[in-house]
Amino acid sequence: MIEVQDLTKYYGATLAVNRISFHVARGEIVGFLGPNGAGKTTTLKILAGFLSPTTGTARINGYDCFTESLKTRRSLGYLPETVPLYPDLTVTQFLQFAARAKGVDGRRAKTEIDRAIADCGLKEVRQVLIGSLSKGYRQRVGLAQALLNRPPLLILDEPTIGLDPSQIVEIRQLIKELAGEHTVILSTHILPEVSQLCQRVIIINRGQIVASDTPDNLSRQLGGGSRISLLVKGPPAEILAGLRTLAGVREAAAVGENRYLVHTQNGDDLRPQLARLVVERGWELLELKSQEFTLEEVFLNLVTEEEA
């Protein structure tokens, strides 16, 4: 669906994107992550046809995003981080304008607008001027225009920003339902959102891709080894000393009352050895479980390493 090869973008003398390459398969939901200034929005704008690359290529459905921009735009719906809306139009009027701009008119336009309004929870405000809407509702209007005409590709830049918790849940569910029928690139700073929605994650930092894999694989490969959480009753000093002497333990720390966190070397699963140690020492084992590294920890680890 998307093929990016050696994509580079300069703003004057400033290098924003540095020879990045990646692909997105049809039907995938891919998280596109990076700190501020990493090159995320620049890359998304090139894919959407708003910017031209300095060098390299980006293709959607086989069409070049710059030289064949009109063809690629027919295949995508784009929700930018700052949604461009006309405050003096009602929600319905704006979506009618967006539908005409996308070449959708007549009876089909009405059907598409009604569907987008229903999907994005805009029925109650469809005749309200956009200028009087809350930020959350404006975000919904932006998402609705992206969904018009059921484009095979959706590029969503911070789609849940400004929404209240219940609206966030609704929009996340909507994005989940788009999987399969649509390919989705999701850029967001809310990393738990990526874990919930995305099948794969691409992390960019300082204009270069530093990781690309599933969230689970990134947690295993880049988390620095496995962690095991224990709930053990006994003398805290003795427990810590015992945990640290076990072969394969890189570090052990107390993280709460009777709670200990063990970092293992090389990702080894030491749960059997830890259970045996606790029983042999006569301590009371209340809980023993693996604790995966979160996407936030992996992200910070990668970004920190790159900056170092």
Helix axis angle for 91-101 and 106-119, nearest 10°, is 130
Q: β-strands 208-213, 200-205: how paired?
A: antiparallel
**How far is residue 179's CA from residue 161's CA, in Å, rounded to a whole number?**
21
Q: Which of residues 245 and 296 earns the better pLDDT score?
A: 245
The answer to whether 15 touches 53, Cβ cutoff 8 Å, is no
* CA R_g for the chain: 24
Residue 230's pLDDT is what? 94
What size, in residues, is the chain?
308
Residue 222's pLDDT is what? 60
The domain 225-292 is classified under which CATH number: 3.30.70.100, 3.30.70.260, 1.20.59.10, 3.20.20.60?
3.30.70.100
Residue 88's pLDDT is what? 96
| 90-101: average pLDDT | 95
**How far is residue 95's CA from residue 144's CA, in Å, rounded to a whole number?**
8
| The pLDDT of residue 231 is above 90 | yes
Give the residue among 126, 129, 194 at the shortest CA–CA distance from 160.
194
**How far is residue 274's CA from residue 41's CA, in Å, rounded to a whole number?**
46
The answer to whether 187 touches 157, Cβ cutoff 8 Å, is yes
The answer to whether 35 touches 29, Cβ cutoff 8 Å, is no
| The pLDDT of residue 132 is above 80 | yes
Q: Which CATH architecture has domain 2-220?
A: 3-Layer(aba) Sandwich (3.40)
Query: Ramachandran region of residue 23, left (φ > 0), alpha (ψ -120 to 50) or beta?
Result: beta
What are the strands, taking DSSP E only, across the chain? 2-11, 14-24, 29-33, 55-60, 63-64, 76-79, 153-157, 183-187, 200-205, 208-213, 227-233, 249-256, 259-264, 284-291
Residue 308's pLDDT is what? 46
The count of other CB atoms within 10 Å of the CB of residue 255 is 10
| The pLDDT of residue 97 is above 90 | yes
Highest mean pLDDT: which range of 160-164, 178-182, 229-233, 287-291: 229-233
Q: Is 64 exposed, middle or buried (0-12, 13-18, 19+ CB in 10 A)?
A: middle
**Vertex 136 angle, CA 133 and 141, to 5°:** 70
Highest mean pLDDT: which range of 125-139, 160-174, 264-278, 291-305: 125-139
**How far is residue 107's CA from residue 104's CA, in Å, rounded to a whole number?**
9
Cα 184 to chain centroid distance, Å, stands at 10
| The pLDDT of residue 307 is above 70 | no
Residue ranges matching CATH 3.40.50.300 in the chain? 2-220
Residue ranges matching CATH 3.30.70.100 in the chain? 225-292
What sign results for the dihedral spanned by CA atoms 81, 84, 90, 96? negative
